A and B are shown apart, each in its own frame.
Chain A
Amino acid sequence: MTEVAVVAFAQAPNVRRTHGTTNGVEMLVPIFDEVYTRTGLSKTDIGFWCSGSSDYLAGRAFSFISAVDAIGAFPPIHESHVEMDAAWALYEAWLKIRMGEVDTALVYGFGKSSAGELRRVLSLQLDPYTVAPLWPDSVSIAAMQARLGLESGRWTETDLAEIAARSRRDAAGNPRAQFGGETDVAALLDTDPVADPLRRHDIAPVTDGAAVIVLASAERARDLADRPAVIGGIEHRIDTPSLGARDLTTSPSTRLAGEAVGTDGVEIAELHAPFTHQELIVRDELGLADAVRINPSGGTLTGNPMFSAGLARIGEAAQRILDGEATRTLGHATSGPALQQNLVTVLERG
């Protein structure tokens, strides 16, 4: 079957609030231009389009249809959408190319998290009979997960603060990150919890943003990028939605997806962990060695654009290969509460 490669990646600035609409057009048009310029492709060259976004974030039905305006969808295009992080849209586009239906695909995700009250909106992804009617917010659920690890000795508050400090330090080198810079671990630990046991630095910010990736068949990719990032494997798995039936300090779905793609030899990993302790869970389940560089972009803790943060992890991992800095990298995306669903992809120099 056809190999598939990432040939370009771009993301909108991660910001706390945009004045743009919830259909994402203002964030998408400039980054589409970026990937067109980089690849020399124009919209009529794209064989398949796939996006990830959510009407719950926008507060209106079929909001993703308006985003299609950003494409210029005439004559009619071959298009699909997932109500999930666009990492799963990338999976669908990967399949289309694997099957030989098309040889190029453009994948994008967008979300204006600031339009509503994000952690409350995210309650609605929970079981609609016995959980969502209580409105447990996403931060509180992650906080219960963090406590399980703290009280069992899996991690300490210092471990978590060190992850936050490293992320912010790395984000200083990422012009699209929401914030970054040097922070003192002791100073972070000196702050009060905002959702006991989580402190502000343990929680990814609320972010408006968007990201785009262009995929091509390996054959086509050679014309579009100097060093295409070939997808060596991509898998996703899911755990039960029953939160109280899971051991929340583990993520079997991450482990299974990682085992299916094979994580040996990875030099850099971009992990989609919106809470500090979740990075430790994912890292463990993927069996990443200490030498593996985690989230050189600053990661989700310094910019968490809903429905594109997972795609951006794959994009950041691919960019290291496109730039010639690495030969084997890993991108991870998560969806649902407390790391319920996970996608893992390994990228390689072609």
Chain B
Amino acid sequence: MPEQPLSAPLDIGFDYTRSVGPVLGRFMTALAQRRVLGVRGSDGRVHVPPVEYDPGTAEPLDELVDVAAEGTIVSWSWVAEPLAGQPVQRPFAWALIRLDGADTALLHAVDTGGDPASVHTGQRVRIRWADKPVGHIRDIAYFVPITDPPADAAPTAPAPPAATSPDGDAGPVDTVITPVHLNYTHSASREESRYLRALADGRLLAQRCPACGKVYIPPRGACPTCGVPTTDEVELPDTGIVTTFCIVNVPFLGQRITPPYVGAYILLDGADIPFLHLVLGCEASEVRMGMRVRAAWTPREEWSTTLENIAHFEPTGEADAPYASYAHHL
């Protein structure tokens, strides 16, 4: 039975920072003051949340009007197991809520203390404000029924960070920050998995395209030139040349080596495609195109299924490869 491909968690996150413009800016500024604004559309309808352009006529809109902090449920659905980031972190209802004074519905969460029988269409609900509004849609923590609201406060997702206003805390909101975190299972291809498992044994496993004969490391799954699977395995030595390189002089977040240092394309002997790695063991200014290098492996007991088993490449001191021998790999 063939080995299963390798996989690993891939957790990514980013704080999306968005400028809001004049219409949404006034909406967000009002939220920070625990007020809700709508915008009057071309047909006189009041949209909440406000839209910048009329959905029917595409006319730019800018007449903002106050609406109430309570309204009526137009439709709803029940969430038995809240997902990460959702406003209420116990069973709750999503609802389309038409606030008094508005003609369109706002999508938000309704907390009934976890009871699915306590929500219905036509129900009157009221905003429960966040403790510290910052000018963000999450300043509306959630809604609760006006009649028989739950006895306790709902557990909520972490509040978004406040954007700093150029005019200080009291100034208009011009930016909203929304952290986004996503979780994936990233799978390596079968070919990459064989390559990574070989690395754990200190071997460099490439594959040759059966059509054009090119040798790929890491193996690609399909030859990008021919579009056929790369199948024939080739073990490569840990020596090669620098095809091209750059000297990193700029510090950046997450950097592990103090600049200046060299990032280079390394073409292993017998390979047709170079990969990116570090060249250390000499002054950055001594690194040249065509320079012969050898892998510097980490201690064997630290090896795992990663190219990080090779700490860096360092010069062998052999004569440089002539330009013509690698010109077609640049």
Are A198 and B77 within 8 A (Cβ)?
yes
- Cross-chain contact A129 with B18 (CB below 8 angstroms): yes
Are the CB atoms of B78 and A196 closer together than 8 Å? yes
Q: Is the C-beta of B239 less than 8 angstroms from some C-beta in chain A?
A: no
The chain A residue with its CB closest to the CB of B6 is: A19
The answer to whether B95 touches A144, judged by C-beta atoms less than 8 angstroms apart, is yes
Mark each residue of chain A from 71 to 87: 1 if its CB lies under 8 Å from any CB of chain B, else 0. Answer: 11110000000000000
Binary CB contact string for chain A from 29 to 71 against chain B (1 if under 8 A, 0 otherwise): 1001000000000010000000000001011100000001111
Known interface pairs A132-B178, A242-B47, A245-B55; A144-B227 also in contact (CB < 8 Å): no
Contact indicator A134/B222 (Cβ below 8 Å): no
Contacts of B247 in A (CB 8 A): none
Residue among A32, A136, A141 with max Cβ neighbours from chain B (10 Å): A136
Per-residue A-contact encoding for B74-95, CB less than 8 Å = 1, 0 else: 1111111001111100000011
Of A112-120, A210-218, A342-350, the one with at least 4 CB within 8 A of chain B: A112-120
Task: Give the residue of B18, B94, B189, B227 whose beta carbon is less than 8 angstroms from that of A26.
Answer: B189
Contact in complex: A148, B107 (CB < 8 Å)? no
Interface range for A: 35 or more
* 0/1 string, B222-238, CB within 8 A of A gives 1: 11111111000000000
- Quick one: which of A72, A128, A196, A245 contacts B77, CB cutoff 8 A? A196
A-B contact count (CB 8 A): 187
Q: Does the CB pair B137–A133 fall under 8 Å?
A: yes
**Among B4, B107, B187, which residue has its beta carbon within 8 angstroms of that of A136?**
B107
Residues of A within 8 A of B20 (CB): 129
Distance of A130 Cα from B47 Cα, bound (Å): 12
Closest Cβ–Cβ distance, residue B220 to chain A (whole Å): 6
Q: Which of A68, A134, A141, A244 contacts B224 (CB 8 A)?
A: A68
Contact at B178–A128, with CB atoms within 8 Å? yes
Q: Are A69 and B187 in contact (CB under 8 A)?
A: no
The answer for the CA separation of A73 and B227 in the assembled complex, in Å, is 7
Interface string of A118-160 (1 = CB under 8 A from B): 0111001001111111111100110111111001000000000
- A residues at B contact (CB < 8 Å): 19-22, 25-26, 29, 32, 43, 56, 58-60, 68-74, 112, 114-117, 119-121, 124, 127-137, 140-141, 143-148, 151, 193-198, 240, 242-245, 248
4 additional A-B residue pairs with CB within 8 Å, beyond A56-B182, A132-B178: A29-B228, A134-B108, A151-B75, A243-B96
Which 5 residue pairs are nearest across A and B when measured between Cβ atoms?
A: A72-B227, A143-B77, A244-B105, A240-B55, A196-B78
